[in-house]
Amino acid sequence: MTQDIFHAISDPTRRGILVLVAPQTMIPNALADHFDSTRQGVSKHVKILAACDLPKQEKVGREIYYQYNPKKMKAVDK
């Protein structure tokens, strides 16, 4: 099931996640440290963003690293 990209970026927490991963790759625990939420709460937001391919995901060992995907945001800009 693909998500609506506009729904994904409508939430302030999800926009904050994109701002955090734009300059650097981050793991969910590092992302959760920036929000007044649990890791599971942040993971739910990341899952919605990932359904739209907004952050790229790379699994290294047991960790998943998230990185900004500028190509998807260009589609929003158009």
pLDDT at 17 over 60: yes
**Residue 76: pLDDT over 90:** no
CATH number reported for the structural domain that contains residue 37 in this entry: 1.10.10.10
Instruction: Decide if 78 is inside a domain.
Output: no
How many other C-beta atoms can be found within 10 angstroms of the C-beta atom of residue 21? 22
Position 31 in a domain: yes
Whether residue 76 is contained in a domain is answered as no
Query: For residue 56, what are the domain limits?
Result: 5-71
- Which pLDDT belongs to residue 77? 74
Q: How confident is the model at residue 1 (pLDDT cuts 50, 70, 90)?
A: very low
Of the candidates 76, 61, 21, 77, the one whose C-alpha atom is nearest the C-alpha of residue 45 is 21
Those residues whose C-beta lies under 8 Å from the C-beta of residue 32, and which sit 6 or more positions away, are 38, 39, 41, 42
DSSP β-bridge partners for residue 26: 66
pLDDT the model gives residue 72:
83
Please report the pLDDT score of residue 2 as a whole number.
52
Number of domains, the chain: 1
Asked if the structure places residue 77 within a domain, the reply is no
- Any domain includes 59: yes
The pTM score is 0.86
